[in-house]
Structure 1
Amino acid sequence: MTDSAAYDAELQLFIDGSWRSGEGHDAAPVINPATGETIAEVPLASTGDLDEALAAAERAWPEWRAMDVEKRAAILHGAAALLRERAQHIGALLTQEQGKPLPEAIGEVIGSAQMFDFFAEEAKRAYGRVLVRPTGQRSIVIPQPVGPTATFTPWNFPIYLLAKKVAAALAAGCTVISKPPEETPGCTGAMARALSDAGIPAGVFQLVHGVPDTVSRHLIGSPVIRKVSFTGSIPVGKHLMKLCADGLKRVTMELGGHAPVLVFDDCALDKTLDMVVPQKFRNAGQVCVAPTRFYVQQGIYDAFARGFAERTKALKVGNGLAEGTSMGPLANGRRVPAIASLVEDARAKGARVLAGGEKGDGGFFFQPTVLADVPLEAEAMNNEPFGPLALMAPFGTEDQAIEQANRLPYGLAAFAFTENGRRANRLGDAIEAGMVGINSFAISVADAPFGGVKESGFGSEGGTEGLQSYQVVKAIHQA
């Protein structure tokens, strides 16, 4: 595909089973980050639209929760099949809206389909239990759907993070109102269209765009909504939790991270480098679990830094639609000066720039950047960069590495590379994170829980735990 493909998306709201276009609605621009140009406008929901969505979600819930699980699963499987059929087109929309290379975008669509397939089957395994009681008596524990749910998702993985929430909630028997990011309405709208075409009943799933604070306050303030799931920054997560407190609404919060990577001198060095560099610059580093703080044992520190920089310089940066692109632009213009400021702060405090360090030409580009000898007082070592920035510092002992890994108030993901099995076991136990990858970055998969500890949030998505997050538990005692 050329880097000048036409943007072909129907940007609409999906409310109570019908598509709403822009007539009579305010609108927000959709910008291609590779060029900085406005490519479309997305209609924004009014308070009347939101009220209609709430009424529809409340009305549709009893029917959806009572639907035979096989029928419910068939709709989710149908949506998954349509996502796969349309992956090339949806991926191109995602790339034009968000910037990531087309193969990454198509992979995100396929991963979203896997989420729908997994939860379609997981819904059939929502088991309860029977308690031991005297003859003639029964006590059972059953899970039930929590009820109408509101989800809020960010722009870095716009369709995958939306699918992760929506698939689980629908499988559990909840109705859902989703507010995806206004930056990426085409690909998220395409997911809604797949559900609609798969036969989702009116009111069961709805998609609205709007001013984030306005939409969140309106939906969370409604007694209809019983569960809120949010992925995004820590400050916004704390704000939404306060809004949820007034209604004692259940919440799942998947918030920011600052993933440490502990690299020991017994690792397979070249193999490790070949793994970590693509992962660091995947989606231009705009990944909540991106490997970012590289703590490398002193004996291999120089060789690791040199090999990392060489591989980084070989990456091809450009329009995500162009063949062979390794890394696209940042998703929005404000990220470019933010990353530049972090680089300058680290350099002023003694860090060495081994690769990159400058913004690119046109669009929202910033070079993939490697900084060595980054001191702890550098801002980037304490606040999530969320961009193409790799930070390196040496360590001596295992205890020192663990101390650095656990130093910050974040605890989403962490990684370690070692060929020592006993050390791997100790690291898995000692590192404070919701997910730990040892010699692997495969931590976000459909059948495993995804979530953090400390200020990185609480609750899990994915796996059995993801389904349970949209359920309440009821005990029934019969004498």
Structure 2
Amino acid sequence: MYEQFGLFINGEWRKPTQSADVFSPVTEKSLGQAPAATADETIEALNAAAAALRPLREMGGFGRADALHKAADAMIARTDEAARMIATETGKPIAQAGREWGLACDQFRWFAEEARRIYGRIVDSRVLGGRFEITREAVGVVGAFTAWNFPAALPARKLAPALAAGCSVVLRPSSQTPGVAMIMVDCLRAANLPDGSVNLVCGSTSNTYAPIMEDARVRKVSLTGSTRVGQQMIRDAADTVKKVSMELGGNAPLIIYDDADLDAALDATVATKFANCGQVCVTPDRFFVHESLHDAFVTGFVERASMIKVGDGLEPDTGMGPLINQRRLEEIDAIVQNAVQAGATLAHGGARTSHNSGHFYQPTVLTNVSDDMKVFAEENFGPIAAITTFSTEEEALARANACEMGLSAYAFTRSPDRARRTTATLKAGMVGINSFALAASEAPFGGTNFSGMGREGGIEGIEDYLDTKLSQIVF
């Protein structure tokens, strides 16, 4: 499955000296042998990236824009192949996989145009005959680390702005889902960027992460991963004073106010909660439902959840695929059992499915959940809807904010005034009112507090890949 690719270093695919199995979350069998870079191969990739900086800069913004548009064209032509790879490696439904690849294509289109708009400015100087010139320059070599849950969208959010800015990249995708990144990098190969502009290494932390973090030539690192990993990366980046941006964990609150459109809220929430088997950092985890709507909301939620077909994402009628691995399956089951033992009510699901293989778990609904239960206090990252009630707007907002995470937050209401108050009060990098659609190439994506720093997407997305230079010119 991975034989046509390998490691991508200095503009060419090469066979690795080591490899490791990638396992299907559906069958639990090996999908094939993926490359596993040695530390020396990672250093080769870093050398190539460093050498590519000058030719990338000399292309100029318009040249890099043309290259990124070529990459997007190549990606669109390989949509079916990429969607199947995503569904195979993650187990997510093929329709969701296709939409994800489309979002990745959009990133390259958006940042192709942003490459043409890296503006500076001129400021009058206090020195007679002088002026200040403020220009923007690429920070340098970038180390990009991505997670397995969105194996196309996450690399695209890092590769596209970095290349648009003129930064070369060493990409280290998740070893659980390397194939999708390989297809994307192959599309970039077709864009005729300078050799070394993009490099791909997979493998162990000691052989990939450590060389990248220790190399002083790497001036910026970008991570999508857990808060624990992000904290370690911040510490490691301090040794060589690297710029960091990261999108970390979430534990998003959802507030269903008493004036919400109940059917619209239910339709949107069930589809969002169980997308990718709940393995989405911005999915709603903590459900605050007004006491007057609680029973109707739970009834409607369970009805819709019970209609979801759980199975192989390559089957067209599958609504929810498996968890990524056995460890996640066991963790999710333990979280549910812990909540029930602590007094929560199991309204639906709460067990593994009857499939003969695969890491499948039922869409699960818990009620009578208290804020101190693990299922509520921590990100569960699985197909669990944990529901509690509230009485007043002030109570709901205070409880929603009682969390160290701050990635996304949501509410449903018919009141514009309440929507504005809610948006202003919730502590999160992104807030959705009557909508969960936050991920778009034209919009800045990211969180606050323990959910990370920096933004991906929008005009803000290129900022972390640029340094500001001030020049004083006097004649």
Q: Give TM-score scaled by structure 1 length.
A: 0.97
CA drift of 1:36 comes to 0.7
Q: Which amino acid aligns with 1:21?
A: K
1:432 aligns with 2:427: yes
Please tell me whether residue 402 in structure 1 is matched to residue 390 in structure 2: no
Task: Verify the 8 A CA contact 2:21 2:30 in the aligned structure 1.
Answer: yes
Q: 1:377: Cα distance to partner?
A: 2.2
* Pairs within 5 Å for 1:98-247: 98-133=90-125, 136-247=129-240
Identity of counterpart residues, as a percentage? Answer: 41
CA distance in 1, matches of 2:262, 2:83: 34
What amino acid does structure 2 have at the position aligned with 1:116?
Answer: F
CA drift of 1:8 comes to: 7.2
1:414 alignment counterpart: 409
Does structure 2 retain, via aligned residues, the 8 Å contact 1:10–1:186?
Answer: no
SS at match of 1:226: strand
Q: Which structure 2 residue ranges, 5 or more long, are not aligned?
A: none
Q: Distance in 2 between matches of 1:39 and 1:139?
A: 57
> How many positions carry a matched residue from both structures?
471
Post-superposition shift, 1:10?
2.9
1:68 has 2:60 as partner? yes
What is the alpha-carbon distance in structure 1 between the residues aligned to residue 394 and residue 60 of structure 2?
53
Partner of 1:35: 27
Q: Which amino acid aligns with 1:10?
A: Q
Contact 2:2 2:32 in 1 (8 A): no
**CA contact 2:42–2:207 (8 Å) conserved in 1:** no
In 1, the alpha carbon distance for the partners of 2:283 and 2:263 equals 20
Per-residue deviation, 1:9: 6.3
Gaps of 5+ in 1: 1-6
Q: Which residue of 2 is the match for residue 258 of structure 1?
A: 251
- Confirm or deny: 8 A CA contact 2:37 2:207 kept in the other structure: no
- The alpha-carbon deviation at position 475 of structure 1 amounts to 1.1
**TM-score, structure 2 as length reference:** 0.97
Which SS does the other structure have where 1:122 is aligned? helix
Q: Which of residues 319, 323, 326 is equivalent to 1:333?
A: 326
Cα distance in structure 2, aligned partners of 1:381 and 1:108? 28
Q: CA deviation at 1:133?
A: 3.3
Partner of 1:3: none
Distance 1:178 1:337 in 2: 30
SS of match in other structure, 2:49: helix
Separation (CA, whole Å) in 2 of partners of 1:9 and 1:289 = 34
**Which letter does structure 2 place at the counterpart of 1:411?**
G
Q: Structure 1 residue 83 and structure 2 residue 91: aligned?
A: no
Taking structure 1 as reference, are residues 320 and 358 closer, same or farther at Cα in structure 2, changes over 3 Å only?
A: same
Supply the distance in 2 between the matched residues of 1:352 and 1:9 (Cα, whole angstroms).
49
Task: For residue 469 of structure 1, give the secondary structure of its aligned residue in structure 2.
Answer: helix
Corresponding letter in the other structure for 2:217: V
Q: CA RMSD in A?
A: 1.1
CA distance, structure 1, for counterparts of residue 94 and residue 2 of structure 2: 15
Contact 1:9–1:186, Cα closer than 8 Å, also in 2: no
* Local SS of the residue matching 2:326: coil
Matches within 5 A, 1:461-472: 461-472=456-467
8 Å contact kept, 2:2–2:33: no
Structure 1 distance, partners of 2:206, 2:399, is 36
SS in 2 for 1:296: strand
Query: 1:400-428, CA deviations, whole angstroms, 9 ceiling, x for partnerless residues?
Result: 11111110100000001001110100111
